[in-house]
Structure 1
Amino acid sequence: MTATRPVPAPDFVGYPAVRRGIRALLEARPGSGHRPVPACPEWTVTDLLGHLTAIAERVLTRHGGTPPPPPSGPLGVPALLDRWDEVGAEVDRRLAAAGGNRGEIMVMDAYTHELDLRAALGVPPPAAHEAWAPSFELLVRGFSGSLAGRGLRPLRLRTTGGSTWTAGTGRPTASLTASAYDLYRALAGRRSLGQLAELEWSEAPEPWLPAFTWGPFTLPAVPGV
């Protein structure tokens, strides 16, 4: 897999920006904790925030840290935001000490969920974000492995803004073009089969559609946002 630009280093560079972004989103919308998140059908906003906090605790433990004692009961949005910031700040320090090259999955997961929250709350995606480039690169690598594992021809991935990647093994003879947002959401399992087919393909997309199910990602049954 090749790309037209390097991945920013260290890999966790966007993690504090995601935490700040999600805090700003939710503090501006008090009482949104019970709101459903369509991209994560079984979750509310509170559930999603609990997931992000739990991932941070898991990463901290993996890198030799100790999360704060578990709460005695369910936490609401304000308390979860504070706990995530506390744990996340220690994760940032430990990843920096380790060279900063081990946090890419955590960052991609967090940024993807920030986009999920924005969609659930009717807030447009940010015009620019520190987590976007490393997260996109990780998604392209995963999709590239999915193509290769299924023996599918490589694809040239293009954004309407002019960025390009090669996914799969070999020289691509077909391409997929979409806005940066739609391409990201497609690679992250947030686009249905119908939505994928409606993107700009240089030839019939059906052979490649199964490859969008990979790793933790499965395609939604209903159109995603």
Structure 2
Amino acid sequence: MTTPADVRNVRDPELPGRLLAVERDALIPLLRGRPEGDFALPVPACPGWSVRDVLAHCSAAFTRVLERRYEDGVFSPESNERDIAERAGWTNARVLDELEHGMTEAGPVIAGAGGALDGLALGEWVHAGDVRDALGEPGAYAGAGLPYALALLGQVTGRSGRPPLHADLDDADEPLRFGDPSGERPPARYIGDGPTLVRLYAGRSVDGAAYELAGMEAAELNIFGG
């Protein structure tokens, strides 16, 4: 049996920035080429939000990071809604400009935060998948950023004490470990592809996906749902 590779224990501070740079190079040209009406489409993963709302939330989050604005309640639902409302009068192009700038410049700030902002980078990558999904783009949570996202997911889940999981991925050369192995709970086992595992960890719909999960309920994986 192949021993799962441990992607949890040693933090790579440059990893979030690499993930965001790869995603920027794929996402921004895609969005700049979409018609204006697409920005009003609803995002199923984020009820009540449009594509533009999700992008405004992401661009605002990066700006807060770059400006080191971490006041009480930052990234709360109320704060997110305020950020979106503040950009209501902006053109879509201006929102994309802010988003592109943030994805380009936030990496070093995240790297220097000692891991506290790694989950933000991962969440922004997931939101890019949410947007692709809303636009009907194939491979919403896949693409060139997936290996970086899986590695970052391993680091985030390992540090946050999530239940241990061994993942045999269809699209990876070797099994990977996620979560914290220090407790008494034996590792759960996942068999399937990487994008579906990301969806599970992000609390996104996996309807119609073929996968196996043993030793854990799917809801226990959700790192964004509390």
- How far 1:34 moved relative to its partner? 0.5
CA distances 1:172-197 after superposition (whole Å, capped 9, x unpaired)? 565210111111111111136x768x
Q: Does residue 159 of structure 1 match 2:159? A: no
> Using a 3 Å threshold, how does the CA distance of structure 1 residues 166 and 16 change in structure 2: closer, same or farther?
closer
How does 1:87-98 map onto structure 2 within 5 Å?
87-92=102-107, 94=109, 98=112
Count of matched residue positions in the alignment of Structure 1 and Structure 2: 198
- Residue identity over aligned pairs, in percent, reads 25
| Residue of structure 2 in register with 1:10 after alignment | 14
Q: What is the TM-score of this pair, normalised by structure 2?
A: 0.70
Note the C-alpha offset of 1:102: 6.6
2:68 equivalent to 1:62: yes
> Which runs of 5 or more residues in structure 1 are unaligned?
65-69, 148-153, 219-225
For residues 21 and 28 of structure 1, the distance between their equivalents in structure 2, rounded to whole angstroms, comes to 12
Structure 2 residue runs without a partner (length 5+): 71-84
Report the counterpart of residue 162 of structure 2 in structure 1: 146
Match for 2:99 among 84, 104, 108? 84
Q: 2:221 aligns with which of 209, 212, 222?
A: 212
Task: Please provide the CA RMSD for this pair.
Answer: 3.5
Q: Compared with structure 1, are the counterparts of its residues 63 and 137 closer, same or farther at alpha carbon in structure 2 (3 Å cutoff)?
A: farther
Question: What is the CA–CA distance in structure 2 between the aligned matches of 1:73 and 1:37, rounded to whole Å?
Answer: 17
* 1:200 Cα deviation after fit: 1.6
Checking the alignment, whether the CA contact within 8 Å between 2:5 and 2:175 is kept in structure 1 is: yes
Letter in 2 for 1:209: A
Contact (CA 8 Å) 2:14, 2:108: kept in 1 or not? no
Q: Which residue identity lines up with residue 211 of structure 2 in the other structure? A: L
Alpha-carbon displacement from aligned partner over 1:122-174 (angstroms, at most 9, x marks no partner): 11127642x43342233345555232xxxxxx432121134322334269565
> Could you tell me how far apart the structure 2 residues matched to 1:7 and 1:93 are?
14
Q: 2: distance between equivalents of 1:72 and 1:125?
A: 29
1:73-102 CA distance string (max 9 Å, x none): 522321101122234444346557x49977
* 1:38 aligned counterpart, secondary structure: coil
**Structure 1 CA distance, aligned partners of 2:55 and 2:106?**
17
- What residue is the counterpart of 1:199 in the other structure? 211
